[in-house]
Amino acid sequence: MVDVLVCIKRVVDSSSEVVLTEDDQAVDGRFAGFTTSAHEECAVELAVRIAAATGGTASVLTLGDADATEQLRSALAVGCTAATHIVADAQTFGPADVAREIAAVVRDRGHDLVLLGNDAADSGDFQVGIRLAYELGRPVVNGVATVSVEGSEVVAGGDGPDGHETYRVPLPAVVTVLEGGVEPRYPTVPGRMKAKKIAIEERTPTAEPSGPKRVRLLLLPPQPSDVQILGKGAEAAPAVVDLLERLGVLAR
């Protein structure tokens, strides 16, 4: 019966060209739309699986403006059963602020396991998980792709520089998740309908943001793409095979 909390963030879908807002303070989502990052989608999937495997519950949390309910509903539609919305302007909350706010919720509720994405897709701070663990005085595992619970231990795994790494830490714990270990499910129609009916708990931040502030975002100049034409029709086949071998797709 593990009580999991998974933390997500409403971010601009970054799968296309990045467009900044006019004040350079945020990524503009009007073309690409908003989403939950791939890391966090995997974290949600893991949370739902752990809850199912242990007969526990998966709750979802976000800190963001009113529109962020869209991402909470998406998580509810794939199996989370409760949601908490800390209503605040995510752009003004730095990683230390966010960690403090999550910690306040976890202290209230006593969630056994907190899952987060490895890093936020828009601001890329890589800090919230570690700061949260520090605030709570819990063990933390960073950047893993699989998470399961065995008894009172969390088993977390992922690829490290020297091979596959497996960590075992006692509950309660904090884990940050990298995409790739699980395939996040799409919502079902009944799931989506159920999600619509779940009441979202709204909270106000416990304190004003005090951590470091963003000055502005900068776009890198577009990387020139280099297209090399390998040939046309059947004559191109040897060149393609050669390239695939060099890339390691085909064995030499």
Partner 1 sequence: MANVPATARVVVIGAGIVGNSLVHHLARLGWRDIVQLDKGALPNPGGSTGHASNFIFTVDHSREITDLTLDSVRQYQEMGVFTQSGGFEIARTEERMEELRRRMSSARAWGIEAELVTPEFVKEKVPFIETDQFIGAFWTPGVGVVDSLRAGTIMRESAMATGALTVVPTVEVTGMDVEEGRIRRVHTSGGDIETEYVVIAAGVWSPKLGDMAGVSIPLTPAVHQMISVGPCPQLAEREGEISFPIVRDMDTFCYERQHGADMEVGSYAHRAILHEPEEIPSIEQAKLSPTEMPFTSDDFDPQLEQAYELMPELLGAEGAEMRYAINGLLSLTCDGNPILGESLVKGLWTAAAVWIKEGPGVGRAVAEWMTDGHSEIDIHHSDIARFHPHQMRREHTRMRTTESFIKTYGIIHPAEQYESDRDQRLAPMHESQKKLGAMFFETAGWERPHWYESNAALLEEYGDAVLPREHEWDARWWSPIINAEHLRMREAAGVIDLSAFQILDITGPGALDTVQRTCVAQCDVAVGKVVYTPVLDAKGGFLSDLTVMRLGEDHFRVVTGGAHGMADRKTFTDQLPSDGATTLTDVTDDVSTIGLWGPRARDILASLTDDDTSDSGFGFLTCREIRVGDITVLASRISYVGELGWELYVPMGDAAELWERLLDAGAPHGAVPVGIGVYGTTGRLEKGYRAYGAELDGERSIVEAGMQRPKVKAADFVGREAYLAQREAPPAAVLCTLTVDDHTSASGVKRYMLGGEPILAPDGGTLTDGHGHHPYVTSAGSAPSLGKHVLLAYLPPDQATIGNELAVSYMEELYPVTVGSVDATGLFDPANDRIH
Q: Does 185 bind partner 1 (CB under 8 A)?
A: yes
Instruction: Judge whether 90 and 54 are in contact, CB under 8 Å.
Output: no
CB of 28 vs partner 1, minimal distance in Å: 9
Q: Does 162 bind partner 1 (CB under 8 A)?
A: no
Q: Does 188 bind partner 1 (CB under 8 A)?
A: yes
CB of 17 vs partner 1, minimal distance in Å: 4
d(C-alpha 125, C-alpha 145), whole Å: 19
Q: Does 65 bind partner 1 (CB under 8 A)?
A: no
> Which of 53, 108, 166, 193 touches partner 1 (CB under 8 A)?
193
> Which of 150, 164, 186, 241 touches partner 1 (CB under 8 A)?
186
Strand partners, 177: 117, 144
Encoded one letter per residue, x for contact with partner 1 by CB under 8 A and - for no contact, window 9-38 reads ----x-xxx-x---------xxxxxx----
d(C-alpha 201, C-alpha 81), whole Å: 12
Encoded one letter per residue, x for contact with partner 1 by CB under 8 A and - for no contact, window 117-136 reads --------------------
Tokens of 55: 């007969």
CB burial class (10 A; 0-12, 13-18, 19+) of residue 153? middle
CB burial class (10 A; 0-12, 13-18, 19+) of residue 215? exposed
Q: What angle do CA 99, 102, 104 make, to 5 degrees?
A: 110
Query: Judged by CB under 8 A, which stretch of 55-63, 130-138, 190-198, 236-244 contacts partner 1?
Result: 190-198
Q: Does 167 bind partner 1 (CB under 8 A)?
A: no
Q: Does 225 bind partner 1 (CB under 8 A)?
A: no
d(C-alpha 137, C-alpha 131), whole Å: 10
Binding stretches for partner 1 (CB under 8 A): 13, 15-17, 19, 29-34, 70, 73-74, 185-190, 192-193, 196
